[in-house]
Amino acid sequence: MKQLTHNDVENKQQKFPITIVCDAIRTPENIGMCFRISESFGVEKIYFHENSPSIENRKVINTARNTINQIDYESYRKFDELIHQLKLEGNTIIGIEITDKSIDIQDFDFKNSEKIVLLLGSERNGIENINLVDETIAIPMYGRNSSMNVIHSLAITLYEITNQIKTS
C-alpha cells in the first residue's frame, strides 16, 4: 500500500446546489474551516455575517488554505432579509441545530429539496432566529457534551447530503 501524495490525487469534481449561511460566527478558525470543508464538498456559496472575522484575517487565511479563492462568498448585514431572499430563490432553509423539533440527520431525505441552504449557529448562541427555517436537523451524539463544534457539524452534514444526492 502506498500513501497518495497531493500530486497523485485527482478528485471527481462536482458542484452541489448547497449554500451555507453562517449566523454571526466569531472564531476565525471556524470561518477558515468553513471554507475548506465547503470547497471539499462542492458547496456553491457561503454567506457570512459582516461582523464575523474577515477573509483578510491571518487565522482565517491559514485555516482555509487556498480555498478562499475557490469558492464564492458574500457577507450580509440582515439575517432575516437574506433568508427571505434565499427562500424566494427556491431554497429549502435547513437549520443544523439541536431543537425539540429536529429530525435526526440520517432520517432526513435531502433528495426532496432542489436547492438547499444550510444554516449554522454561532459558537455561543446557536441559530438565533430559528423560526425562519423550514426544517431543522440534528446529529446524534453519544458523549457527555451537549453540542459539538459548529464546523464539525457542517462536515458531517455535508457528507450525509452529498452521499444521498450524488449522481454516481
Ligand X SMILES: C[S@@+](CC[C@H](N)C(=O)[O-])C[C@H]1O[C@@H](n2cnc3c(N)ncnc32)[C@H](O)[C@@H]1O
Closer CB to ligand X, 8 or 156, in the complex: 156
From the CB of 87, what's the least distance to ligand X, in Å?
A: 19
- Site string (96-115) toward ligand X, x via CB under 6 A: xxx-----------------
CA distance 2 to 91: 43
Listed in order, strand segments (DSSP E) in 1-151 are: 18-22, 45-49, 72-76, 91-96, 103-104, 115-120, 135-138
User: Which residue among 29, 44, 123, 160 contacts ligand X (CB under 6 A)?
Assistant: 123
For ligand X, the binding residues in 57-96 under the rule CB under 6 A are 96
CA distance 118 to 38: 11
Q: Quick check: 121 binds ligand X (CB under 6 A)?
A: yes
User: Which residue among 40, 57, 92, 147 contacts ligand X (CB under 6 A)?
Assistant: 147
Residue nearest to ligand X (CB): 121
Q: Quick check: 138 binds ligand X (CB under 6 A)?
A: yes
122: β partners:
126
Listed in order, strand segments (DSSP E) in the chain are: 18-22, 45-49, 72-76, 91-96, 103-104, 115-120, 135-138
From the CB of 26, what's the least distance to ligand X, in Å?
A: 11
96: β partners:
120, 137
Q: Which residues bind ligand X (CB under 6 A)?
A: 96-98, 120-121, 123, 126-127, 138-139, 141, 146-148, 150, 153
